């Protein structure tokens, strides 16, 4: 994983995914978006990371991840990583 890469696994039908994707975009955070509708085989990757089938799964550059994070949780993590 690149030093400052954030990866988000999600789907457009998922309200939490749309919210988190919008938040990252509005904050100007670069991230790789894995669309699980377009690439359903990648759902196994998200499950392997989180141990769950819930989305979104947001993977941070430090190797940590969040599942279905709230906007404040995402913002706190970005600040902790000095990305904000």
Q: How far apart are alpha carbons 73 and 64 in whole angstroms?
A: 13
The alpha carbon torsion through 44, 53, 80, 23 (nearest 10 deg) reads 100
Q: How far apart are alpha carbons 12 and 46 in whole angstroms?
A: 16
4/54: higher pLDDT = 54
Q: How far apart are alpha carbons 84 and 13 in whole angstroms?
A: 28
- pTM here? 0.93
* CATH code for the domain in which residue 74 is found: 3.40.30.10
Look at the chain and report how many structural domains it folds into.
Answer: 1
CB 27 within 8 A of CB 6: no
In-domain check, residue 32? yes
In-domain check, residue 83? no
pLDDT in tens, 21-71: 999 999 999 999 999 999 999 999 999 999 999 999 999 999 999 999 999
In-domain check, residue 1? no
Q: Whole domain around residue 27: which residue ranges?
A: 6-78
């Amino acid at each position: 994983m690149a030093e400052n890469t954030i990866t988000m696994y999600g789907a457009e039908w998922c309200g939490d995914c749309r919210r988190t994707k919008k938040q990252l975009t509005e904050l100007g955070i670069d991230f790789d978006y894995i669309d699980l509708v377009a690439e359903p085989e990648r759902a196994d990757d998200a499950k392997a990371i989180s141990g769950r089938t819930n989305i979104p799964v947001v993977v941070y550059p430090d190797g940590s991840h969040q599942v279905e994070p709230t906007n404040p949780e995402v913002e706190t993590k970005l600040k902790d990583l000095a990305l904000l």
